[in-house]
Structure 1
Amino acid sequence: MLHPSPAAELVEAFTNTVDLESGDDDVATPGELVHWLAGRGLVEPSLRLTADEHRAFLDLRAGIREALDTDDPVEPHRLAVADAVLSQVPVLVRLSDLHAPLIPAVDAPPARAALARLAAAWAEIVFSGHVHRLKRCAEHTCGWVFWDSSKNHSRRWCSMRVCGNRTKSRRYAARQRDLAE
């Protein structure tokens, strides 16, 4: 079983800062985002984010969620907005460290450096060929992001007991209604 890399764990945690089902957002304010980032060593806890910097993180999160493997149709606008955020991220490529070839530029402001670290984590997952193991739950009301550790990359739900069962129960009920008609 392939376990997620630290980069995949970071991207998974970042995308799951919003719970689509309940509407809870762990980084709904700049202060909450700083607390979350500081907890992962990406910024100092004393950082003060502007509204625009906060929006950039939320846009990146939405874009990453959109780029993940799911059965839902892709919303190109979310990808374009996230790509615009990434175009402003100062990332350097290093040959001296094969484990961390992408790093934030040395003179990057703290918020941009944190964005660069998230971008580098995303790039690492893509370059490793494991991006298809990071998926959004196929249950449309959930959307939780999870690491697919199945051998054949076939896992569709974050939890078979909850979301998989919900989906299968709805399909079964729909088939029963169709048979009764």
Structure 2
Amino acid sequence: MADPRDPRPLIGEPLALDLLNTRWRAAATRDLLDDLDGYRIWLSSAGLADRCPADQASLDAVRTARSALDGLLLAAEEQRTADPAALNAVLAHGRIGRILTADGPAELPETDGPHWLAAWLAADDYLSLLAQGAHRIKRCAHPDCILHFFDTSQNGRRRWCSMALCGNRSKAARHYERATRA
């Protein structure tokens, strides 16, 4: 459940994309991860507040993961070969441990330190999204929008982060353009 203090226009995407969407454009580009207060809001919205520390080291690790993800998605958008080294460096800080619980086998993320947990979980989530289909990871088609989403539509043709926001703005702009030409 999203934190009511979260000001972002798109919340609730898979963790890797939700981390990317901590940067968005309103009148100007905004960044939820500018400070620890914003980082705490993101942790809360992502459901990680009780699992991850909200300190400067953790914020720095999450920014590192976001930068790595941003670089990979930019390379994909530009149709060039991506360098996975930055994301692999984040992933090197953790692994999945297997344990046996009273309920049966379970997987437990283990990281070099608690400050890497949120960053590692986001990087690991990106690998899961790739396994489901890299073509479903998309950037909003509106030219002024920098948000990303995972297209779960049956035909894979979703174009907008939100039909109510960017889709409507694009339709209104096309309508205005047609009306002024007539």
TM-score of Structure 1 vs Structure 2, range by shorter chain: 0.5 to 0.7
2:60 to 46, 52, 55: 55
1:64 aligns with 2:69: yes
TM-score, reference length from structure 2: 0.63
Per-residue Cα deviation, 1:93-149 (whole angstroms, up to 9, x for no partner): 64979x976x432x631111222222222222223x244333210223112222323
- Kept in 1, the 8 Å contact 2:36–2:54? The answer is no
Q: Secondary structure of 2:59's partner?
A: helix
Q: Please, what is the CA RMSD of the aligned residues?
A: 4.2
TM-score normalised by L of structure 1:
0.63
| Secondary structure in structure 1 of the residue aligned to 2:33 | coil
**2:32 is matched with which residue: 20, 23, 26?**
26
1:21-61 deviation line (CA, Å, top 9, x unaligned): 442222211343144225512555764223xx533322322
Work out whether 1:118 is the aligned partner of 2:115: no
CA distance in structure 1 between the aligned counterparts of 2:123 and 2:65, rounded to whole angstroms: 9
Matched, 1:135 2:138: yes
Look up the match of 2:153: 150
CA spacing shift, 1:165–1:120, aligned 2, 3 Å: same
Unaligned runs of 5+ in 1: 1-6
Equivalent pairs counted in the alignment come to: 164
Percentage identity across aligned positions?
A: 25
**Distance in 2, Cα, partners of 1:171 & 1:120:** 42
SS class of match (1:156): coil
Aligned equivalent of 2:43, options 34, 37, 40: 37
Q: Give the number of the structure whose residues are more often strand, by fraction.
A: 2
* 1: CA distance, partners of 2:130 / 2:93: 17
